[in-house]
Structure 1
């Protein structure tokens, strides 16, 4: 009871944090429970003593009362039986049974995810990269979250929310299309090799970079474990160094700023290695946006949530500026790429409750920013030819100077050349669709 009052129900994240806690973290966990919450167990003790001394046979119609109580508490289990075809003691409505069931089931899921992570990371990759000269010593890849490009000042939006991107020399891809409209599907198709309709998670950008001589780092404000987290974490766990701010899933309602990763990122950038790849995975603008900004915003548009969304993009731009400052301070030749995993579309667009949410029906669910700047950028360049996240590995290898027989490099993705097969996106049901056939999300900004 004291733990429940402090931390809530034993959900997946609670179980992960307990499972992975060190002795010090366990002590901090217990110390965070207010001492007076311990008093909450006294009523339970008193009720237990009373119940043990209670003579039920003295009650008139006692059997009827007992039957009513049993039916009341077993009703959820009976309902589950008729709905799902099984009856479990854990489906009974009593909190102790329900909490126990949640703890057990979430513990099993944690173990399954941990096992999957270890098994997949152990699979040997198939890369055979050829030595090539690289233009820079330090490559930084920043993966944004839930950003549609038409909400960035750098892409023509009316609010001043991309001061760094708008003022920095570099390359803007004005027609970059994400592989999919959800994080896991988009990043699996962007960051891993796809052959015969399968994702080869062992053949990913981390294992490719390591075989090409890069020291690799992964910093994440997304979750480490969970149904939507573990597949991407499999990629991250191959890195020489990886830090996750969240041990469970991404925790929609939690507020951990992306800026909390900066100290670790600085350490990675400053490590003395001949060649480095630093990957940073943001929580960025993930709904709900006001959670990301601590309910603060400086520009109002339509609703509080939309205004927070605009502010969350400003936070990401500020983070990019800070990271670029660290790269400059390192004294190394560097290049930084930023792109988002997917976009969003409107819900209740014509009301004061307007918000942006995950969807797969509109172009804006896939139109995302991509921007590259570097230590030697001296001009602005716009690539307006379509570039698809399904061919991100081709773009990545051309950016880093890596060459491997498994990755197509017949088209210059870093130029304004027209490249083939750049119009495909993946929907929620994993079916492929032509991006150009999708309607516009017509809601006004």
Structure 2
């Protein structure tokens, strides 16, 4: 009797494993793995198939719900997932901010094959849902094997995280369905938090008291560079002839200018805003000051519009009268945008007539890592490594951008002054090796040594200013440069001069003030 039952169970298990629905579940699991944008994993493909097989025997109603929901979401997301990957901050932000017209445009860029595969997912899901429920039977070895395999697969990623020193959490399961839900929820919460933070920063009332407005130009332009260390520019003593425009441009070149900090958010926060007790007041910034003085303000950006490292600076941009971002999400949202695309927006800002002085700000992506992403892998000459070579070429791209912008300003017929500076420098990693690259750091002077120059329609010579200057005093420069006087800005010296300035300090990653001269050196390797 027992032998007969065992034989019957074995035959039933064998038939079950040979059922065409097992193959259908495998194909379905593989396609939804791809649909959600994650790298293909055979482990989770087989594990999810085992879970479906187990549910077919033990919980058919749960299976039907899981199949229906997963099929609809996977089929809908498949084209999107192939282009944009799994849910993340940028994709969720795009979903929040996309209207019907933009959505229809996005759908037109997906290739027909993606839509065909989405239809295949719908067909497979429909066939799986049509499968008749299994006849009730006792727990089998096949059930045990499916449960064990599915459980081990679920625990794999949490255990690996624990071994790597991270907290153990069952929510870290690598199943594409589980990851999709978690990534979607977490990213959506992050988007909501950043939107709330943006709204809060953008709604604070400024406290400027303007005491005088005497601009000497019709147009003032600020170009905020990115990740350019001064010794990488030929115009500032670099060993490479990579800045043909800046090297011969007429104006004032500050050869001892230092950034306030060594990362974009912290540096520009301390540069563009009024700072009280070491903390930037984001409502009291150069845009709100210019608006108080009656300037027409414009902000053009190839940086991020909203994100962990973008929201605070973007909140300054949002205060401008005219705001244009090339990216919807953070600075990594779209690598296909180029700084030169911003130049297409300039003509609108320079249109006649001139009813008020204008302030135009360009926030470029410049030399942000990875530099080869900025140059599409191009470089002029090989220096140490491909990435370093691209970095030096990205400097040339910025120089070309500045030249083109200067030509636009000159062609407008308006009197102008253009100021360029970089937000921070960079430090070498794996220095001198074939894998050398540049990254953020706060231990070296080169992390804070950045280029700055001012060129205008009235300049007649190339002038070097060797006196030490700091971005901590940028508001003084802005006030003197634009002719806007404010009760809150106290001028301690003439910025564009040879006058001595107070000792230079910088802010490190721990937000502590550090004496700049005490930092080490990180020069280019010979």
- Normalising by the smaller structure, the TM-score range is over 0.9
Cα distance, 1:332 vs. partner? 1.1
Distance, in Å, in 2 between the alignment partners of 1:54 and 1:347 is: 60
Residue 323 of structure 1 corresponds to which residue in structure 2? 405
CA contact (8 A) 1:252 1:288 kept: no
2:254 to 173, 178, 182: 173
Residue 195 of structure 2 corresponds to which residue in structure 1? 114
Cα distance, 1:300 vs. partner? 2.3
Cα distance, 1:428 vs. partner? 1.2
Residue 429 of structure 2 corresponds to which residue in structure 1? 347
Bigger shift: 324-333 or 201-210?
324-333
Bigger shift: 148-157 or 65-74?
65-74
Q: 1:144-178: per-residue Cα shift (whole Å, max 9, x none)? A: 00001111111122322111111111000000000
Distance, in Å, in 2 between the alignment partners of 1:319 and 1:312 is: 11
2:101 to 1, 6, 24: 24
2:359 to 269, 277, 294: 277
CA contact (8 A) 1:347 1:356 kept: yes
Residue 262 of structure 1 corresponds to which residue in structure 2? 343
Distance, in Å, in 1 between the alignment partners of 2:145 and 2:451 is: 65
Residue 6 of structure 1 corresponds to which residue in structure 2? 83
* Residue 204 (str. 1) matches residue 281 (str. 2): no
Cα distance, 1:109 vs. partner? 1.6
* Residue 75 (str. 1) matches residue 155 (str. 2): yes
Q: 1:404-431: per-residue Cα shift (whole Å, max 9, x none)? A: 121120211110110114x111111111
- Count of matched residue positions in the alignment of Structure 1 and Structure 2: 442
Residue 272 of structure 2 corresponds to which residue in structure 1? 191
Cα distance, 1:60 vs. partner? 4.0
Distance, in Å, in 1 between the alignment partners of 2:125 and 2:161 is: 31
Counterpart of 1:223 in 2: which secondary structure? coil
Question: CA distance change for structure 1 residues 271 and 263 in 2, over 3 Å: closer, same or farther?
Answer: farther
Residue 141 of structure 2 corresponds to which residue in structure 1? 61
Distance, in Å, in 2 between the alignment partners of 1:231 and 1:222 is: 12
Cα distance, 1:6 vs. partner? 2.8
For normalisation by structure 1, the TM-score amounts to 0.94
Q: What's the C-alpha RMSD, in Å, of the aligned pairs? A: 2.2
Cα distance, 1:50 vs. partner? 4.6
CA contact (8 A) 1:180 1:426 kept: yes
Judging by fraction of residues, say which structure has more helix: 2
Distance, in Å, in 1 between the alignment partners of 2:507 and 2:133 is: 63
Residue 310 of structure 1 corresponds to which residue in structure 2? 392
Distance, in Å, in 2 between the alignment partners of 1:86 and 1:298 is: 48
CA contact (8 A) 1:113 1:230 kept: yes
Alignment of 1:365-380 (within 5 A): 365-380=447-462
Bigger shift: 202-211 or 162-171?
162-171
Q: 1:63-120: per-residue Cα shift (whole Å, max 9, x none)? A: 42243034124315864997647654xx332211211221222122212212221222
Distance, in Å, in 2 between the alignment partners of 1:103 and 1:32 is: 23
Compare CA radii of gyration and give the structure with the larger one: 2
Answer 1 or 2: higher relative contact order, Cα 8 Å, separation at least 6.
1
Distance, in Å, in 2 between the alignment partners of 1:44 and 1:122 is: 46
For normalisation by structure 2, the TM-score amounts to 0.80
Distance, in Å, in 2 between the alignment partners of 1:103 and 1:272 is: 49
* Residue 46 (str. 1) matches residue 124 (str. 2): yes
Distance, in Å, in 2 between the alignment partners of 1:7 and 1:86 is: 27
